[in-house]
Structure 1
Amino acid sequence: MGQLTGKNAIITGASSGIGATIAKHLAHEGANVVLAARRKEKLGTIAEEINTAGEGQALAVPTNVANRSEVEAMVKKAAETFGDIDIYVNNAGLMLDARVREGKVEEWEQMIDVNIKGALYGINAVTPTMIERSTGHIINIASVSGQEVTKISSVYSATKFAVRALSMGMEKELARTGVRVTNISPGMVDTDLARSRGRSNSDRRPLDTDDIARAIVYAVTQPDYVNVNEITVRPV
């Protein structure tokens, strides 16, 4: 029996990369997982893979996290299918052109809508019930770009600084409620997103998505009185 048997989790951005791997790791530990992302076919493939493994069950719910009503509908469907949500992983994210001098306002707005508003919509949808039950865990996936800014990351870093600030504030807001908050800040991870943006470092081996998923499993499997507030995972 896995460490998360009987638990129900939602993972956004779960159609590939870090999100898909998180879903597989949580399911391996026995959790039922709801996979939320826009790419319906990829979600279905990952859900089928998890269900075939015969550990936790998976449900694919196509969702645009930048749309509040879609997030609320997804959370409702998750609860109707599996029951109360124990773990919510805000993983969906966009990494577009982030130089201020380029003036790509539409790309900035997309990052703000997904990286910040998308996280807030999910938190808003699940937190009231978690507080009512005095249990639950919010995982926010930020980035080391939320700790350090480069000349090409200004706007992206701003969105990830916001996610980290949100995590820090929530820790204080939710203290003594039984609801835990963990901020995960990955360094360079070998994903399609990173490769598509040319974000590679030839001097160091990038992280695997499994490295981030293991950090999340660590945080959510601690005793109820332990709140792992922040984990930064970097390549050596």
Structure 2
Amino acid sequence: MANPRVYDVDAALGAAVSTNKVLKNTYMLLGMTLLFSAFTAGVSMVMGLPQGAALLLSLVGFGLLFVVHKTADSSKGLVAIFAFTGVMGASLGPMLNYYLALPNGPALVLQALAGTAVVFFGLSAYALTTRKDFSFMGGFLMVGLIVAVVAMIANIFLAIPALSLTISAAVVMIMSGLILFDTSRIINGGETNYIRATVSLYLNIYNLFIHILHLLTALSGDD
């Protein structure tokens, strides 16, 4: 009669191998999509696209996000995710041109990039090293994200600088929490599709960079 412990060990090893494969593929694809976004952002900047084009590209990106999730289980998902991240990168062009035109703009953009990298790698390393389960944060983070989005929409009409800063600070905290949450899901088998995992982490980094840049600019007095 077969020893059930042998099956348990085999199952555990199989799960570990599968998780490591998802992690490897996720970080590889994440790096490629971030580079592609940087490229399309550069093209957008050189073309001098207006803010209206950035808004349109963001809306297109929102639609492509649904396509990515729908096709994530097939090879079409790879095409969709590059289309999505390319469009999202291009939508950053007008914003980056605005910040780079400020007196201390280039330094602020570099500081935001460095800050984003430090937060992402630091939190990812913590989640990977400790292998803690951060799934308990899911509900709280989702509520926080909804509140932040509603506040952003409201501030379009209110235009209160202090509220804008508060929203950016909140989004930085929420995205930091989501990096822990999404990395934990991969480690603990909650996410087994590397395309979906990549999209989640990409959006965390994307929003983290935008709001760190906003905070740094406001605190520097250049805005």
Which TM-score tier does this pair reach, normalised by the shorter chain? under 0.3
**TM-score computed with the length of structure 2 as normaliser:** 0.25
Higher relative contact order (CA 8 A, sep 6+): 2
**Larger CA Rg, structure 1 vs 2:** 2
**TM-score computed with the length of structure 1 as normaliser:** 0.24
Report which of the two has the higher share of helix. Answer: 2
Report which of the two has the higher share of strand. Answer: 1
